[in-house]
Structure 1
Amino acid sequence: MIYKIFYQETKERSPRREQTRALCLDIEATDELEGRIKARKLVEEKTPYNIEFIELLSDKHLEYEKESGAFELTEL
């Protein structure tokens, strides 16, 4: 399952929409909730990021991301 994580690069400043970034992770999980939990845990352990939102990408959304050229899986 591919998850898109929206985040701020630091927890020290107030979040600003203009500074929101995103990364994509491939998480092995039995269901969506387990995947979200694993994704959050992984990002919190490996980065100083302030997570805003975690989204499971549907097949259509994933295809769009790949076509847009902005899609890249991140390894943590």
Structure 2
Amino acid sequence: MIFKVYYQETKDRSPRRETTRSLYLEIDAQTELEGRIQARQLVENNTNYNIELIEALSENHLAYEKENANFALTEFPS
């Protein structure tokens, strides 16, 4: 599954919509909930980001993101 993670680059300030960024993760999970948990752990273990939302992308949403956004999967070191 592909997950889109919305985040703020710092935990020091209150979240502002204008500074929300996103990244994409490919997670091998049995359920969406398990995937969200794994995605949160990956981001928290490898960054200082303030996570706002994690969503699983449907096939249509993923196709849209690939065509209209700066789509690139993020990989963290194991």
Kindly report which structure 2 residues correspond to 1:1-76, keeping only aligned pairs within 5 A, or say none: 1-76=1-76
Q: Deviations over 1:14-68 (max 9, x none)?
A: 1111000000000010000000000001100100000000000000000011111
Question: What root-mean-square deviation, in Å, do the aligned CA atoms of Structure 1 and Structure 2 show?
Answer: 0.7
Amino acid at match of 1:57: L
* TM value normalised by structure 1: 0.97
- Structure 1: which 5+ residue stretches go unaligned? none
Q: Provide the secondary structure at the position in 2 that maps to 1:74.
A: coil
> How many pairs were matched up?
76
Q: Provide the secondary structure at the position in 1 that maps to 2:34.
A: helix
State percent identity of aligned pairs.
66
Amino acid at match of 2:62: L
Amino acid at match of 1:39: A
* TM value normalised by structure 2: 0.94
- Structure 2: which 5+ residue stretches go unaligned? none
Amino acid at match of 2:32: E
